[in-house]
Amino acid sequence: MSLEKILDKKSLDTLKEINNKNVEKVIEQFVSLCKPEKVTVLSDNKEDVEYIRNKSIENKEETKLALEGHTVHFDGPKDQARDKANTKILLPKGTEISKKINTVAREEGLKEVLDIMNGCMKGKELFVRFFCLGPLDSKFSIAALQLTDSTYVCHSEDILYRQGFSQFKKLKDPKNFFYFVHSAGEMEGSVTKNVDKRRIYVDLQENRVLTVNNQYAGNSVGLKKLALRLAIKKASQENWLTEHMFVMGIHPKGKDRVTYFTGAFPSACGKTSTAMMSGQTIIGDDIAYIRINEAGIAHAVNIEQGIFGIIRDVNKKNDPIIQKVLTTPREIIFSNVLIKDGKPFWLGMGTETPKDGVNFLGEWTEGKKGKDRKEIPLAHKNARYTIRISDLENADPHADDPKGVPVSGFIYGGRNSDTSVPVAESLSWAHGVFLGVILESETTAATLGAEGKLVHNPMANIDFLTVPLSTYINSHLRFGDHLDKPIKIFSTNYFLKEDGKYLNGMLDKKIWALWMEGRVHGNYAAIETPIGLIPKYEDLEALFKENNEEDYSKQAYNKQFSVRLDKYLDKMNRIEKIFKEEKDIPQVFWDHFEQQKKRLQEARKEHGKPVVQPEEFEK
């Protein structure tokens, strides 16, 4: 199929500007397969971006709201989160990967998804877009091509990613780009109809993702978690790291310095709210590329320029910076919230909410029940907002620095109600890698499936791995070996409970962050325990007083930072079973496993009780 026959003059001229036969082949292949009625190639200019915004309103993928720039998008009732079951790696014949990673034989998977995509864009317009992962003109930059029939996807990407048309024009290797083909498929009104045929297939061999019959951004926006999978493989081959991490700057009060951290948290475990803490600066909240420079110092960039964040519990008290952005005129896409009189409402917003309105299920009234006879909440638990980081008053001035920012600490945070202390420091880089790899978290509404289930999620990245777990662990160990300036590694848990009530306040995370920052600079001593180094009470007491204007009691400290030895030993037993099923796990991992298990057992024997308070480890 000739491009001259399927593109109008404007689109053809735009495509010719990048002069890339490989891009043209991709377009020709999928136009022939998907059979759209029209193909539009768009550049970075304002006219093209505005075309997408207007088209999304026109075709009702989005609806304008009362405040200028605000729109709402609704995904279908069965398309409200990442679909783990139907997200698979296309595995070439003769290759193996970890059992935890969802795979399908490449030939079989390709045939299946291409059959489903045959004619999936009939009667629709296909949009060809160009973006850049990471800052422009940087050693971090990766060119990314998106083909989609969804204006909502295009609009989301205009907010979330850096425009990359100029990057494609400068490509030295015309094959060096990722590409993503997406179709919402047949529509029922303005939502995807055939969700039973939803597929999100990652083809490592061709550096591409094929995704069909979905709209939810985690499944449809190729540059989001889908690109993460491709980049993990690339980073593993090139000796750098692609991580499911935020990048932020911590600014301690009274000290003229900024210390940059990255942090990996599973969905709905406080990742965005940590990156958005008041008084600190944000570079990114989701995905980071991390490289070591010529001086042996790790630098990180955010591959994005925006945030696709969970809106539940965002309110003036807990997230004042995000709340301010969400309630003032600017370009924002809300998804799966409640709309009443052109205003968005969500769960936990801290203000009175309407008794009726429109949500992702249609007309809603308080007390309305679904087919399962359960009451339908006013908005979905995984409702989202899409904004630009530059709209935030705490956006870091180095967010687009092509060199990235120097990283002094990694944070691994999970959701655990009965075991992990709020914050602890690893005993070494290798021990920190071990702590990241054994990360567990209780499931939430951000992923399809049951809530409250404890799931092993190494470095909050298991859903996105495209290399064997052994390779991934070795990449981190090797990365640490090449650092001239060591990075400290910490673990956090904001969700510890007693008698069903949280032991941590929503704003406590700022104190844990400031303590970690102080540890990087040697400002605080620590207590060595079997699970790592924990804060001393007097340091936290002073931090709470100075930064939160709060009296922090010794009783609260003891409840939060007591080491629950039996619970940790239970965890070690779970971890042992999991990793015995994995192949070629490095011996360094098993060394730290045995050492930590032995420390826990010896402490249990010495103290003769299942829970030990911090001061007892100081004796």
Is 67 a member of any domain?
Answer: no
Amino acid at 507: L
Range(s) of the domain holding residue 212: 3-61+84-238
Task: Give the domain-ending residue among 334, 359, 391.
Answer: 391
pLDDT grade, residue 449 (50/70/90)?
Answer: low
- Rounded distance, CA 125 to CA 38, Å? 5
Whole-number Cα distances in Å, 514 to 262, 518, 532: 14, 6, 18
Domain match, 498 and 444 both: yes
More confident residue, 27 or 95: 27
Average pLDDT on 322-337 reads 97
Domain match, 149 and 196 both: yes
Per-residue pLDDT reduced to its tens digit, 267-303: 778 888 899 888 999 999 999 999 999 999 999 999 9
Other CB atoms within a 10 A radius of the CB of residue 304 amount to 27
- Cβ(421)–Cβ(527) below 8 Å: no
Question: What backbone torsions phi and psi does residue 264 show, to the nearest 5 degrees?
Answer: -110, 120
Domain match, 420 and 522 both: yes
Domain match, 137 and 253 both: no
- Please report the pLDDT score of residue 320 as a whole number: 87
Q: 3-class SS at 57? A: helix
Is 71 a member of any domain?
Answer: no
- Rounded distance, CA 304 to CA 616, Å? 45
Task: Give the domain-ending residue among 391, 409, 436.
Answer: 391
Determine which helix (DSSP H) or strand (DSSP E) holds 10, and give its type and residue range: helix 9-18
All residues at 6 or more sequence positions from 330 whose CB lies less than 8 Å from its CB, including other chains: 68, 69, 70, 387, 388, 391
Other CB atoms within a 10 A radius of the CB of residue 20 amount to 20
pLDDT above 90 for 181: yes
Q: Which residues are catalytic?
A: 269
Domain match, 371 and 428 both: no
For residue 462, give both structure tokens: 């298991």
- Rounded distance, CA 51 to CA 464, Å? 33
Per-residue pLDDT reduced to its tens digit, 99-156: 888 999 999 999 999 999 999 999 999 999 999 999 999 999 999 999 999 999 999 9
Percentage, residues of the chain above pLDDT 70: 98
Is 79 a member of any domain?
Answer: no
Domain match, 481 and 528 both: yes
The closest alpha carbon to 285, from 267, 258, 259, belongs to 267
Domain match, 294 and 386 both: no
Q: Which residue has the tokens 């190639």?
A: 41
Is 72 a member of any domain?
Answer: no
Domain match, 319 and 298 both: no
- Please report the pLDDT score of residue 266 as a whole number: 87
Domain match, 188 and 284 both: no
Task: Give the domain-ending residue among 335, 370, 391.
Answer: 391
Q: 3-class SS at 452? A: coil
pLDDT above 70 for 451: no
Whole-number Cα distances in Å, 449 to 84, 211, 465, 557: 9, 20, 20, 35
Write down how long the chain is: 619
For residue 619, give both structure tokens: 């004796």
Whole-number Cα distances in Å, 323 to 260, 351, 377: 24, 12, 21
- Cβ(560)–Cβ(554) below 8 Å: no
Per-residue pLDDT reduced to its tens digit, 522-553: 999 999 999 999 999 999 999 999 999 999 99
**Average model confidence (pLDDT) for the chain?**
94
Whole-number Cα distances in Å, 334 to 65, 73, 79, 378, 538: 10, 6, 15, 14, 43
Domain match, 45 and 18 both: yes
- Cβ(281)–Cβ(394) below 8 Å: yes
Q: 3-class SS at 183? A: strand
Quote the Cα angle for 506-568-412, to 5°.
45
Quote the Cα angle for 140-145-146, to 5°.
130
Instruction: Provide DSSP, 100-168.
Output: TS-EEEHHHHHHHHHHHHTTTTTTSEEEEEEEEESSTTSTT-EEEEEEES-HHHHHHHHHHSEE-HHHH
pLDDT grade, residue 364 (50/70/90)?
Answer: very high
CATH number of the domain bearing residue 130:
3.40.449.10
Is 424 a member of any domain?
Answer: yes
- Cβ(149)–Cβ(39) below 8 Å: no
- Rounded distance, CA 336 to CA 326, Å? 15
- Cβ(360)–Cβ(380) below 8 Å: yes
- Cβ(439)–Cβ(458) below 8 Å: yes
Is 75 a member of any domain?
Answer: no
Question: What backbone torsions phi and psi does residue 446 show, to the nearest 5 degrees?
Answer: -75, -15
Per-residue pLDDT reduced to its tens digit, 494-512: 999 999 899 998 889 999 9
More confident residue, 618 or 53: 53
Domain match, 15 and 118 both: yes
- Rounded distance, CA 424 to CA 427, Å? 9
Is 69 a member of any domain?
Answer: no
**Count of structural domains within the chain:** 3
CATH number of the domain bearing residue 385:
2.170.8.10
User: How far is the first Cα of the chain from the last one, in angstroms, to the nearest whole number?
Assistant: 78
Q: In 357-498, which ranges are continuous DSSP H helix?
A: 429-437, 469-481
More confident residue, 418 or 267: 418
Average pLDDT on 591-617 reads 97
For residue 273, give both structure tokens: 């709210």
Is 126 a member of any domain?
Answer: yes
Domain match, 215 and 199 both: yes
- Rounded distance, CA 160 to CA 305, Å? 5
pLDDT above 80 for 452: no
CATH number of the domain bearing residue 293:
3.90.228.20
